Amino acid sequence: MNTTYLKYVIEIEKRRSITHAAEKLFMAQPNLSKVIKEFEETLGFTIFERGPKGTVPTPEGAQLIKYAKEVLAQIEKIEQIRLDDFKDVQRFNVAIPRGSYISYAVVKLIEELDLNKSIRVNIQETNSMQAITNVAEGLFNLGVIRYDMAHENYFRDYLKNKKVIFEPIWEFKHLVTLAKDSPLHDKEELELSDLDDFVEISHGDNFVPYLKQMNNQEHSCSKQIFVYERQTQFAIMLHVPKTYIWGSAIPQELLDLYNLEQKPCKGIRKKYRDGFIYREGYNLTNLDQRFMVKLEEVKNEVSQRIEKY
């Protein structure tokens, strides 16, 4: 049974008039009359009859309305339980690039969650194009994207067409991440030629449609390993010292954990930009805002460390 019909009969009984009830329900009077007639046919009895006091319920109709009020009251209580449950759940979802300082900020946010309350956190590491799609379609509320600043106009137009807001975080040049026991450990600043005998580890899905011809790296590498998540990158570097990664600054705690170090490289001209994304009209939650603050804090921390470069 459609509970909307129950709301209709309660409103008619309250107003003692189909016309006045229709006005209150923002319906045309003939449409409401038709709905009630069909409802009566389904039930097999007449709900209302006209009398000196207006449209009043029949004995069967009065009983129906009594039960209808009870049913709707119970539904309202159930809905309140759902709302209370939703209110008490710590919900956060974000689509992010595979940047260690970004995931580190997520971890710092999770550390502050109340473990005595329900937690629903969804984190997806993906490329920027997929992150934009996921946010635009409502699969994720918040995202972080990264793009080569040579592609900035493309991304800004794409975000605008998708009705997605962009808030810049920072811009930076890539650093080279290496194992501390690599042959290049003693060099403070690298030359591109230093990497010729090394294997580059990179993510296999970091490309931009329609800009394929512009996706080439500044350093052409004949030895490459493509992976799709950061843990594999770090595991390879731990066991294969002659490997490296191009990327953003990594928090010192993670570098120490995986016995890694980062170095600048001469001749690197490309700049990258990271930024928050969310749908137009979306109201950032408290956890969204706390994450954005955490990410700014971590960004400031790593940027201070690399200022010497």
* Tens of pLDDT, residues 130-172: 999 999 998 999 999 999 999 999 999 999 999 999 999 999 9
Give the Cα separation of 102 and 147 in Å (integer). 15
Q: Is the pLDDT of residue 97 over 70?
A: yes
**Structural domain spans, the chain:** 3-87, 90-306
- Domain 3-87, CATH: 1.10.10.10
What's the first-to-final CA gap in the chain, in angstroms?
70
* Tens of pLDDT, residues 222-235: 788 988 777 888 88
Task: Tell me which H or E stretch contains 245.
Answer: strand 243-247
238 band by pLDDT with thresholds 50, 70 and 90? confident
- Residue 83, number of CB atoms within 10 A of its CB: 10
Whole-angstrom Cα Rg for the chain: 30
Q: Determine whether domain 90-306 maps to CATH 3.50.50.60.
A: no
Q: Confirm whether pTM is higher than 0.75.
A: no
Tokens representing 132 are 């934009």
Please work out, in degrees rounded to the nearest 5, the angle formed at the alpha carbon of residue 168 by the alpha carbons of 165 and 171: 150
- 286, with CB counted inside 10 A (0-12, 13-18, 19+), is exposed
85 band by pLDDT with thresholds 50, 70 and 90? low
Q: Is the pLDDT of residue 214 over 80?
A: no
81 band by pLDDT with thresholds 50, 70 and 90? low
Tokens representing 207 are 């490309």
51 band by pLDDT with thresholds 50, 70 and 90? confident
Tokens representing 261 are 């170090």
pLDDT exceeding 90 applies to what percent of the chain? 63
Beta strand residue intervals within 48-174, DSSP E: 48-51, 54-57, 90-96, 119-125, 142-148, 164-172
What are the residues whose beta carbons fall under 8 Å from the beta carbon of 55, sequence distance 6 or more? 12, 16, 17, 18, 48, 49
DSSP state of 7: H
**Tell me, what's the pLDDT at 233?**
85
**Tell me, what's the pLDDT at 95?**
96
Q: Is the pLDDT of residue 300 over 50?
A: yes
**Tell me, what's the pLDDT at 213?**
46
CB-based contact 272:248 (threshold 8 Å): yes
**Tell me, what's the pLDDT at 66?**
92
